[in-house]
Amino acid sequence: MAVWWVGLIGWLGLMNWAGLGWAGDWQTGWQSGWYLDGGGYWAARVQVTVTNRTDRPMEGLPVPVPIGPKQGEANLVGAEARSIRVAAADGTELLFALLGPDGKEIRSGAIPAGAALLIPVDCPPKGKSTYWIYFDNPLAGQVPDFLPDRLGLVNGDLEEGEGDTPTGWVHDRPDAQHRAEWYFNQLGLRHSYTPWHFYLFGWGHPPKKVGNEAPYAGETPYREADRAALRPEYKHLFQEALRLFWDHVKQKGWADRFVL
């Protein structure tokens, strides 16, 4: 087994809050048991040390690890992306994102120079934390889940991608605010139903939860509950949510557009 190491001081010069370093550590035990090992083993690893220079804790902060053969880079060039695994010092396997030089996600194939590996970092204020990048297991399968974060603006000219979604971009969800703007201001429609969140009674079913508050004591379908007596906490939360919604509707000039 081999450990790759390179020295690095202040690679994140543009980010004064953190520093990265790589070093060989033959004293630390070789971690194992990673997901989808295919019956093989990981023959090489890179140790990553993160230094938090701020007075605030890092909690799951995505930190980029540059990949390449140069000093200050993790030399994973040519390694099979499918075999990459990332672990914390205590052996916890972590999600990661492997991005090519063009910002596109890499999930299999040889890793090129100029790529970056994003790892979620936990690090105390003015402290350090250690992570391991394992690679070189020809039998490893591709993990099904990856870190959703991205590094900077990806595909800013919108020229890459398939279908109606450019690479590195995600469509806004069609929330009630955007639908209302479209219905009333663009299409000129006069009326709309109140959002589904405020729909409580219908078809003989008991009202749904509002946030974490149940309408009645006990378990659904609340067979023993007095259906005419909603829990006070439930009524208060629903009324506050409806008040905030209605204040917003009036502010937008839509008070006569919604059907309650």
Residues 6+ apart with CB under 8 A from 89: 28, 129, 130, 131, 132
- Quote the number of domains for the chain: 2
In a domain, residue 93? The reply is: yes
Tokens read off for 155: 């595909």
216 shares its domain with 153 = no
105 and 219 in a common domain: no
User: Could you tell me the residue range of the domain that residue 243 belongs to?
Assistant: 176-259
In this structure, the answer to whether residues 26 and 127 fall within a common structural domain is yes
68 lies in the same domain as 11: yes
Same domain, 9 and 57: yes
Q: Dihedral angle at the C-alpha atoms of 94, 171, 105, 118, nearest 10 degrees?
A: -40
For residue 15, pLDDT beyond 60: no
Q: Once rounded to an integer, what is the mean pLDDT over residues 19-35? A: 58
Q: Out of 66-75, 78-87, 242-251, which region has the weakest mean confidence (pLDDT)?
A: 242-251
171 found inside a domain = no
CB 41 within 8 A of CB 136: no
**Mean pLDDT within 1-7:** 35
**Shortest CA distance to 117 belongs to which of 68, 58, 156?**
68
Residues 92 and 119 occupy one common structural domain = yes
In a domain, 106, yes or no: yes
Task: State whether 255 and 185 are in the same domain.
Answer: yes
Residues 131 and 187 in one domain: no
State mean pLDDT over 154-171. 50
* 139 lies in the same domain as 214: no
C-alpha closest to that of 89 among 127, 48, 119: 48
102 with 210, same domain?
A: no
Residues 144 and 189 in one domain: no
Q: Which residue has the tokens 């540059």?
A: 66
Residue 131 CA, distance from chain mean position: 19
In a domain, 168, yes or no: no
Identify which of 103, 102, 99, 95 has the alpha carbon closest to the alpha carbon of residue 111.
99
CA dihedral 213, 219, 223, 227 (to 10 degrees): -10
If you average pLDDT over residues 63-89, what whole number do you get?
90
pLDDT score recorded for residue 82: 93
User: What are the structure tokens assigned to 123, written together?
Assistant: 């690090």
Contact 49, 18 (CB under 8 A): no
Model-wide pTM > 0.75? no
Q: Residues 13, 81: one domain?
A: yes
Residue 225 covered by a domain? yes
Distance CA 97, CA 20 (A): 17
Q: Is residue 153 part of a domain?
A: yes
Name the residue with higher pLDDT: 170 or 122: 122
Q: What is the pLDDT of residue 132?
A: 92
Structure tokens at 59: 């909690």
